[in-house]
Chain A
Amino acid sequence: MKLVTERREISSPLLRFLTPIGSIAVALFVAGFLLLASGVDPLAAYKDIIVESLGSMYGLSETLVKTTPLIFAGLGVSLAFRMQIWNIGAEGQIYIGAMAASGVALFSGIDNHWLMLLLMFTAAFIAGGSWAGVAGFLRARWQVNEVIVTLLMNYIAILFVDYLVYGPWKDPKGFNFPLTAQFTDSARLAEYFDTRLHSGFFLALFVALVLYLFMERTVWGYQIKVIGSNPKAAQYAGMKTGTTIFMVLFLSGAIAGVAGFSEVAGLQHRLQHGISPGYGYTAIIIAWLAKRSAIGVVIVSFLMGVLLVGGDSLQIYWQLPIALVYAFQGLILFFLLASDFFVQYRIKLVKGGKYA
């Protein structure tokens, strides 16, 4: 008697739909033991997460506020995923996008609301795109590993924003805190229902729709998919692989950069130290969980928004470190990867010897 694994001819769609949900459930279960080990009642903590993030209008609005940058960054990362390109640098692209948008808001002196927002958006788009474009160029030209380049550029981006807010851009009236002066009203997005929910959220949904149409309804989107799944075939078909790699990473970073615009124009109204608490890293999980679908990105971003708002409440009520959310996200990924195996393979008990 021996256990063997056998590849499934067809993986069932039901199984493929259930595994992400199952992975989150198992990760919650295991994380419960981590909470227990640090002296926290997991059930009470989980209840707090749900109540805080979904139990009131205010909680829900806060969840949507956190969902907003996650959708942008998640869309960016997932676009690159389509082509089997890894953009691990969304975090840095958010910072650079936020910096570019803030530069326009602080120094352009434009009064017109729409012109100002348009310029801020464009600046963030181009800056985030160029930041990722460096990795895209290196990858397309010399096959330099884009995982390492995009990741290392995060550190540089964050340090550069720190340099600005601790140095030349620091608000002289800011009591020496690492932040710039507040934006004028013309550089602020609309807010709704007396909450912090801003129009960036609807912009994020709109971008998701555009990307969906782009990927599913245009030749360009089709090319990206072909190059991703079979680069050799794409080359034989005369598609420009190198140029597309650069363009996709540029666009990927540009969309993540817009998250930076949305954060400073909609929420913070200034550039400051720690403008993103790791949205760019959460975006990688979102893209992976969403299985490259734009609609999926929106749904998973919302789930992660719940987790982030919940994580804040765990910090406040249980004095748990906010980085706990990372441990939880890591666990989800572990279980998701493990469960993928059971989607692709079945395990059978067979009789007979080793080579039967």
Chain B
Amino acid sequence: MLEILLDATVRAGTPILFATLGAIINERAGIINLGIEGLMLIGALAGFAGTHASGSLLVGVLAAFIVTFLAGSIHAVITVQLRGNQIVSGLAMTMFGIGITALFGKGMVGQTIAGFERVAIPLLSDLPVVGKAVFNQNLLIYFSFLLVFIIWFFFYRTRWGLAVRTLGENPAAADTCGVPVNLYKFLAVTVGSGIVGIGGAYLSLASTPMWIENMSAGRGWIAVALVIFAGWSSPKAMLGAYLFGGITAMQLRFQAMGTTVSAHILQMLPYFFTIVVLVVSTMRLQKGASQQPESLGLPYDREDRK
């Protein structure tokens, strides 16, 4: 029972994990991205269409990354180069994503593909309790484990990572040190968006191998909230994403057991808990326990340097 629940937790949490990781990269560079929900949909459709056309799951994932990278570049140009309002641009991206995927996804509704299959890692997958949940999953889930480590390593063990973090804290200082501020910010937004897109592709290639209009169903927004819960750190993002994966898994389990509680009420739980978690983590943030990037959300103009 616990094994099944853990397994379902990881599976339900992974798309949110990818989305949260992408959003963390954005925000570390000082750019708020409220377009996560729309980017996930774009990634889901691009991934599905790529796999549907080529028959290869790898092509699908790459397509998801590239297309959301390009979509993210709209947000990047508006917020970085043109110093536009980040909140409005992100909301525009979400609307754009919902609309454009509904338009171009029409032909994909009802199509089928062969989705990601489990790949058991010998010996490790036989471990009690966690073996199945961690070592008998699909390749995208293994990739998400790797990505958590890569992002942590990048931000805390490389020069470039330090430069990107400085952009979120004090872009003027980074500028003075010769960091190409706009280029790095642009790349942080686009690469982060691409990773959000892979989270979307997980939905259409692994969770349910098909395209359904609006299939992200608010997961992008949960990811935006989880960034704060995770304190902008990738390992904690994993914890947050699985917490929500767990709630989703339990909710589905309740429904499968035929509980008398309405499905509509059960479906509220993830959103409700996200708000609770957001409140608690913001209260911690107030006490100075966390590390919100200092200049998050502010446009940077060299002329404004003091």
Contacts and interface: CB of A to CB of B under 8 A. Distances in A.
Contact of B275 (A86, A152, A320): A152
B279 A144 contact: yes
B300 to A, nearest CB: 13
Interface string B94-133: 1111111011101000000000000000000000000000
Chain B's interface size range is: 35 or more
B54 interface: no
Given A145-B282, A326-B98, A337 B84 contact: yes
Nearest to A320: B103
B225 interface: yes
Contacts of A329: 92, 95, 99
Given A281-B95, A325-B99, A149 B78 contact: no
Interface stretch (B56-64, B135-143, B259-267): B259-267
Interface stretch (A48-56, A160-168, A186-194): A160-168
Interface of B: 34, 38, 74, 77-78, 82-85, 87-89, 91-100, 102-104, 106, 213-214, 218, 221-222, 224-225, 228, 262, 264-265, 267-268, 271-272, 274-275, 278-279, 282-283, 285-286, 301, 303
Contacts of B262: 163, 166-167
A222 interface: no
19 contacts: A145-B228, A147-B34, A147-B87, A148-B221, A152-B218, A152-B222, A163-B262, A163-B264, A284-B91, A323-B98, A323-B213, A326-B98, A330-B95, A334-B96, A337-B78, A337-B82, A337-B89, A338-B78, A340-B84
Nearest to A86: B87
B92 A337 contact: yes
Contact of A148 (B82, B88, B278, B286): B278
Given A159-B265, A159-B267, A166-B264, A326 B278 contact: no
A305 B110 CA distance: 32
A321 B211 CA distance: 15
Nearest to B82: A341
A327 interface: yes
Contacts of A86: 87
Given A143-B282, A155-B218, A334 B100 contact: no
Nearest to B281: A144
Contact of B88 (A37, A156, A337): A337
A153 B95 CA distance: 18
A145 B278 contact: yes
B103 A34 contact: yes
A313 to B, nearest CB: 16
A38 interface: yes
A327 B96 contact: yes
Interface in A111-151: 138, 142-145, 147-149, 151
A153 B275 CA distance: 8
A144 B278 contact: yes
B78 A323 contact: no
B275 to A, nearest CB: 5
Nearest to B274: A152
Nearest to A144: B282
Contacts of B102: 321-324, 326-327
Given A320-B103, A323-B102, A159 B268 contact: yes
A148 B94 CA distance: 14
B82 A323 contact: no
Contacts of B279: 138, 142, 144
B265 A152 contact: no
Given A7-B303, A337-B84, 12 more contacts: A38-B106, A138-B279, A153-B271, A155-B221, A159-B264, A163-B262, A167-B264, A323-B99, A325-B99, A333-B92, A334-B74, A341-B83
A37 B34 CA distance: 27
Nearest to B104: A38
A334 B222 CA distance: 24
B86 to A, nearest CB: 9
Nearest to A333: B92
A154 to B, nearest CB: 9
A109 B259 CA distance: 34
A288 B88 contact: yes
Contacts of A95: none
A330 B265 contact: no
A194 to B, nearest CB: 34
B263 to A, nearest CB: 9
